[in-house]
Amino acid sequence: MDEMDFTFKALDELCDSLREVAADFAYLILYDRTNQHRDVSLGRFDANREMLRHRLMRQDPEVDWSDEALDHEAAERACDWVRRTAMRNTFGDRRRRFRVRIYGPKGVQTLASGQFVCTWHGDLDEVDDEALHVAPAEPALPRMPQAQFDGVEDSMTGPGMRALGEYYTQWGNLMLGSFGQLQSLHIQAADRTQRELVDAREQIERLVAALMEVRFEHSKALLDDDRAVREQALRAQLVRESVSQLGDAAKLMLLSKGLTPQMMEVVHMLGSSDELMAALSDPGVRALMSDPKHLSQLAGLLKGFAAQHQQMLAMAQPPQVDGPTEPQPG
């Protein structure tokens, strides 16, 4: 079947109308309008953008198809489908008339409608001009024609086969449309699952990153606390060592000045009381202590206070009993 053998009338105008409503175009239905009293549905073309995008991406993955480009591509493919279907149904006949109805989503609105004619020129016999000038033959006597029944069978079989073919075409188009819708649903579900999987993977990565950051901050805080504790312990140890070294140095200094350990202990005890050091620093007290007599009295006074303190401690302690006392007989 050669496309050059077919001519169309009003098909280009119909395709222009389809391109104008390509953005809202959902599907179209092609009818055979040759018999004006009955429209025969030849098929339906669905402009499924998702399935079309999937097919185009498989052909050329590097091309990013926009919505406007998809609408234009769907309109062009619909026009090509209408042209090929009309050629296939006109093949063998001289001329057939077709009707196209273009619908929006869910068939709520009819966007455009129109008719066109397809003519087939491949079956025309060329007539020889010489055959028109053959001398007429002598008239024959009339006779009864013989009955011919071959044409009857062909005439009854042709319309039936054509109707059967049309029904098979309608059934095939319905099946292809249903298969296309199922494939579109499958592609949409697969794409949605893929997007959800990518989103879930990104959420897991963000959660892992947050956990790692929290663990890092916790470890850093523990290291800082441990470092602070070690530094504090080191400073305390250095202070103790310094105090010990200063005490040893003070002892050495006092021993170098002729002080005995007992005197050093007394000096340490006197220096531990601020009030006593203030009293000893008083000029009047120093004047009294410069007299040996007063020092003797101070020594006796301190001894008396020490004895009284021992007696008070002894009186404050409860009496100790060695064992249970037995009652005396009367």
DSSP summary character for residue 312: H
Tokens encoding 32: 């055979």
pLDDT value for 32: 93
Which positions of the chain have pLDDT values less than 70? 1, 123-158, 243, 246-261, 271, 318-330
pLDDT value for 78: 93
At residue 330, what is the residue type? Answer: G
pTM over 0.85: no
Secondary structure (H, E, C), 196-211: HHHHHHHHHHHHHHHH
Written as one string, the DSSP assignment of 31-97 is: EE-SSTT--EEEEEEE--HHHHHHHHHHH-TT----HHHHHHHHHHHHHHHHHHHHHHHHTTSSEEE
DSSP 3-state of 174: helix
Every domain of the chain and the residues it spans: 1-123
CATH number for the domain running over 1-123: 3.30.1490
Tokens encoding 297: 């009295």
pLDDT tens-place string over residues 192-243: 898 999 999 999 999 999 999 999 998 888 888 888 888 888 888 887 777 6
